[in-house]
A and B are shown apart, each in its own frame.
Chain A
Amino acid sequence: MTIKFLLRKILQILLVLIIISFIVFGLVYVAGDPVALMLPDDASQEDVEILRESMGLNEPFIVQYGLYLLNMLQGDFGESYRYGQDAMSVVLDRLPATLELAIVSIILAIVVAVPLGVWSATKKNTSLDLVATGAAVIGKAMPNFWLGIMLILIFSVTLSIFPVSGRGTPAHVVLPAITLATGIAAEMTRLIRSSMVESLSQDYVRTARSKGLRSRMVIYKHAFRNSLIPVVTIIFLQTSTLVGGTLITETVFAWPGLGQLLIQAVNTRDMAIVQSSVFVIAILVILMNLIADLLYRVLDPRIKSK
């Protein structure tokens, strides 16, 4: 099944990528060209027209998209007008910074969310559970930018523990990672809790408990292990949220990653950069989903039988 399954998946992914390229190209096309933005504040309409003509931006949509798709198939994602170089290489340059932030954040989120979720599931419906849920909700309800600025004010300006912004030493990643991790940890906590609640109510866990196995043993050995599958899936499915969060977190912390690049690119209508980064992000998300899918198949026998 594996090879056939994989082939089908790859075909699907290619299709999805083409759809994405169409959606994004269409959006950016409608967004208008960057010409007016490249000129000074007091440029006249005539100046704009001259430049637009010289950049070959007067072609119709289908022609432009067709050319784009053709070039893309040859690995050419266009040139960024702002950077004057191959857009994809600009994007790939930024990827490590964003991955660093994302990986540290997700690890932080796991460290907090897994114990908290398990713990509040075992104490379901007590006031402790309520406090944990409340904490998770507050974590989810705080917008990234607000949390980021607050963390800077507290931990950098007042307490001088961490540097304010930028990327460099490991200390630099701490505050942005906490900012990014909070919302995700909150989401994870809630999902892990409900997944744990479910497996704790399974018959075999109850049986194990009634046989007098120590409660902690039951929780960790049986229930937790069993709810591990959805938990792993959940983690992989957070990729999209995570990448979305980097847009704002990177801006607040002047973190030189993909998120900041994208915001700049949208603001300056740098079509090639927007295209390339959405592409890279989409491939990342799809890849993560694929892994989640595969894990699910491998770990959960029930899926196969379907």
Chain B
Amino acid sequence: MTHESHTISNEVRPNLIKRPSALKKWWRLLIRSKTGTVGLIIVVTAIIIALLAPVLAPHNPAAINPANMLTPPVWMENGTTEHILGTDNLGRDILSRILYGSQVSLIVGVSSVVLAGIIGVTVGLIAGYFGGFIDSALMRLVDAFLAIPTILFALVILAVFEPSVFTLIIVLGITNWVAYARLVRSEALSIKERDFVRAAHSIGVSNFKIITRHLLPNVISSFIVISTLSVATTIILEASLSFLGLGVQPPTVSWGSILSDGRDYLATSWWLATFPGIAITVTVLGIIFLGDWLRDVLDPKSK
């Protein structure tokens, strides 16, 4: 994600978030963009599904039923309306599992990105604003983290701490913060040289205030752009960790864990892995579309 910084950084951006009329403007921009609209619809739907999973799900996602193992989806031979998307190797209803799985996938995706964002933005602001020794020390730390592939990092940490929704959020959060730190640092570097910051500094406003009042609002928009895409990446990463046996553990379900559990059945009972796969793909598509649109809106250059 760091390379995004080349296209977005060093740019002065109007502060859209603070102006109330901005919302209306966004709405107009959104309707004009086909992909943006599609993205928003998908993301909103996914969130609604996650929130309403207990209401929507026809079955308990963890209830096993040996009599009903590997029932195919309703439109196939032997399928029943009882299990619209079929059942898995323990007779659990796949539709219900996917509905519930959306909760964990989205929570892990969003929370870990927020956590990464908080760490990254803080480190980036401090490094960029103070510069000097603090900057180079923090940047070496960033380099170190960048040089270790995320999945490898997660692998080692999760081998120590039992994988759960909570630990996954923490792990993905602390492995992904570097991208934000780099971006925010370069933003902060350019902003701090600008007149209003210098002015604030000269009349004795404290560092903390300058950072929170002046720097933070100015880096928020680029943060939003990267973080949307990061949510998508995280959802996929969670699936990969499930493949390695380090995703969420049963009875908790996530799309990644359903997909991973179904991989032994790809040749014989395709529906186990296909439906969660579709869920992931569609959601990621929606998030990326939304993210692209956000970038177009927030980055005047690419308009």
Residues of A within 8 A of B (CB): 12, 15-17, 19-20, 23-24, 27-28, 30-32, 130, 133-134, 137-138, 140-146, 149-150, 153, 157, 191, 194-195, 197-198, 201, 230, 233-234, 237, 240-241, 243-244, 247-248, 251, 262-263, 266-267, 269, 274, 278, 281-283, 285-286, 289
Contacts and interface: CB of A to CB of B under 8 A. Distances in A.
B144 interface: yes
B155 interface: yes
B148 A20 contact: yes
A150 B288 CA distance: 24
Interface in B281-303: 281, 284-285, 288-289, 292, 295, 301-302
A285 B302 CA distance: 30
B285 A243 contact: no
B159 interface: yes
Contact of A30 (B160, B259, B260): B160
B18 interface: no
Contacts of A24: 148, 156
A145 B240 contact: yes
Chain B binding surface, main DSSP class: helix
Contact of A134 (B159, B263, B285, B302): B285
A31 B156 contact: yes
B143 A31 contact: no
Interface size class of B (residues with CB under 8 A): 35 or more
B266 interface: yes
Contact of A281 (B148, B159, B243): B148
Interface in B115-160: 136, 140-141, 143-152, 155-157, 159-160
A285 B155 contact: no
A201 B159 CA distance: 49
A137 B147 contact: no
Nearest to B139: A12
A23 B148 contact: yes
Contact of B156 (A16, A17, A274): A274
Contacts of B240: 143-145, 248
B236 A28 contact: no
Contacts of A269: 159
24 contacts: A12-B136, A20-B144, A23-B148, A31-B159, A133-B289, A137-B285, A138-B281, A140-B232, A141-B285, A143-B240, A144-B240, A149-B266, A198-B301, A198-B302, A233-B3, A233-B6, A237-B3, A243-B152, A244-B149, A244-B151, A251-B244, A266-B155, A282-B147, A285-B147
B149 A281 contact: yes
Interface in B207-244: 232, 236, 239-240, 243-244
A144 B267 CA distance: 17
B104 interface: no
A201 B148 CA distance: 36
Contacts of A146: 239, 259, 263, 266, 273, 277
Chain A binding surface, main DSSP class: helix
A32 B156 CA distance: 11
B53 to A, nearest CB: 21
Contacts of B148: 20, 23-24, 240, 278, 281-282, 285
B249 interface: no
A153 B149 contact: no
The listed residue with most B CB atoms (<10 A of its CB), out of A195, A233, A278, is A278
Given A24-B156, A143-B236, A230 B7 contact: yes
A140 B35 CA distance: 17
Contacts of A289: 143, 146-147
Interface in B178-201: none
Given A133-B289, A149-B266, A248-B243, 16 more contacts: A19-B143, A133-B292, A134-B285, A137-B284, A140-B232, A140-B284, A141-B281, A141-B284, A143-B239, A145-B260, A146-B263, A150-B266, A233-B3, A244-B149, A247-B244, A282-B148
Contact of B7 (A137, A195, A237): A195
B277 A142 contact: yes
Contacts of B244: 247-248, 251, 263
A118 to B, nearest CB: 16
B150 to A, nearest CB: 6
Contacts of B281: 137-138, 141-142
A27 B285 CA distance: 35
Given A153-B267, A230-B6, A240-B146, A266 B285 contact: no
B85 interface: no
Contacts of A237: 2-3
B140 A12 contact: yes
The listed residue with most A CB atoms (<10 A of its CB), out of B34, B145, B244, B280, is B244
A113 to B, nearest CB: 14
B148 to A, nearest CB: 6
Contacts of A194: 7, 295, 302
